[in-house]
Amino acid sequence: MRFAARLICLLAAVAALPAQAYDILQPLPERVYVPAHNPQTPDKIALGAQLFFDARLSYDGRVRCNDCHDLMAGGESKGRTPAARPRLERDPPTLWNVAVQTVYFWDGRAPSLEGALREHLLDGRIMAFPDEAAVARRLATLPGYPERFQAVFGEAPDAQRASEALAAFIRTLLTPDSPFDRYVRGEKDAISPQAKRGLKVFDDLGCLSCHFGPNFAGPAPGPAIGPGEGFYELFPNHPGTEYDARYGIALDPGRERVTGDPGHRRMWRVPTLRNIALTAPYFHNGSVDSLEEAIRVMAKTQLRAELDEDTVADIAAFLRTLTGRRPQLPLPQLPVEDGRVAPLSR
């Protein structure tokens, strides 16, 4: 079934992509899918950036989005939990290039970025608001925000609109012009001979049958595949290897927890490989500390392949060409309470 699904996705993706229609290797697109109900505007993006860095968007005022998705670095947290929060069972994935995803969270349970953000606001381990009304109350009492929301949305702040502004900002977080992108655009020396060997073996082994497309994560949202239609694979595909015990990678039921279907046990959204050198530790549980070990684990658990160290190094060299150019973002200027410290509204 998942092979059929893969084939359909592949064909659909191939059929509908105009520019690189038949290329399984694609550069990062310059434009990304934006849902019609949440168009990008400069003011909305700026408001989202402000919210992203404002700890007052957490119920206890102690956590910024950036604490787990660090835009000064790999867009994730290097496995380090904010001190004010418990360690999550699943490692926060990078936010760079998530606009090229079709579903959100490791198990794909959110069909939209906006929905994933709303869930973050209400998750007791993350932003921890007790309900959406509490989000609206908080934003209504923070200086500057009611006016900004009014200007952007023509409405008062609420959880939905906060999520929309955050999503608009997050959709701008693209890392173009990686050596790989320059290579597929025709700059033949943009990647090293070792990286080229790595790309070839990556293809020969079959890695590309899941990690294809502009984000190396399957088809990107667009005409070919609707947003909300996920692209999932088994991990580990072959359980029972030494790695299960060492890294606990088979313990989490993955997508089964979302659908209740035992056929979805250990199914996961295929994660991006872009900027993979920036985003250790690896896998849904953040259990593997090095890229080389992650390559060994994937080869063995997904493809029953034992790789020699030269091959691992070649693949790693290829994967390192997927590190893009992080955009130069401004440090947000948050509105400050005028001449007082008020308790955060509850």
Provide φ and ψ at 168, rounded to 5°.
Answer: -60, -40
Q: Which is nearer to a copy of itself, 20 or 141 (CB)?
A: 141
Q: Which of 242, 239, 184 lies closest to 24, judged by CA?
A: 184
Min dist. Cβ of residue 148 to a copy of itself (A): 15
Min dist. Cβ of residue 322 to a copy of itself (A): 11
User: What is the identity of the amino acid at 285?
Assistant: N
Q: Which is nearer to a copy of itself, 10 or 98 (CB)?
A: 98
Min dist. Cβ of residue 45 to a copy of itself (A): 14
All residues at 6 or more sequence positions from 296 whose CB lies less than 8 Å from its CB, including other chains = 307, 312
Min dist. Cβ of residue 318 to a copy of itself (A): 12
Min dist. Cβ of residue 143 to a copy of itself (A): 10
Task: Return the H-helix or E-strand segment holding 167.
Answer: helix 159-170
d(CA 231, CA 190): 30
Q: Which is nearer to a copy of itself, 41 or 290 (CB)?
A: 290
Min dist. Cβ of residue 65 to a copy of itself (A): 13
Structure tokens at 132: 């959406």
Min dist. Cβ of residue 52 to a copy of itself (A): 11
User: What is the identity of the amino acid at 219?
Assistant: P
Q: Which of 7, 6, 8, 13 lies closest to 220, judged by CA?
A: 13
Q: Are strands 267-269 and 232-234 parallel, antiparallel or unpaired?
A: antiparallel
Query: Angle at Cα 257 formed by Cα 69 and Cα 35, nearest 5°?
Result: 50
- Is residue 240 classed as helix, strand or coil in its secondary structure? coil
Q: Which is nearer to a copy of itself, 110 or 316 (CB)?
A: 316
Which residues in this chain contact a copy of itself in the complex, by CB under 8 A? 53-55, 61-62, 70-74, 78-80, 82-84, 276-278, 280-281, 289-292, 316, 319-320, 326, 328-334, 336-342
Q: Which is nearer to a copy of itself, 245 or 336 (CB)?
A: 336
Q: Which is nearer to a copy of itself, 170 or 220 (CB)?
A: 170
Is residue 334 classed exposed, middle or buried when 0-12, 13-18 and 19+ CB atoms within 10 A define those classes? middle
User: What is the identity of the amino acid at 62?
Assistant: R
Min dist. Cβ of residue 158 to a copy of itself (A): 23
Q: Which is nearer to a copy of itself, 4 or 331 (CB)?
A: 331
Is residue 166 classed exposed, middle or buried when 0-12, 13-18 and 19+ CB atoms within 10 A define those classes? buried
Q: Which is nearer to a copy of itself, 308 or 338 (CB)?
A: 338
DSSP class of 16: H
- Is residue 74 classed as helix, strand or coil in its secondary structure? coil
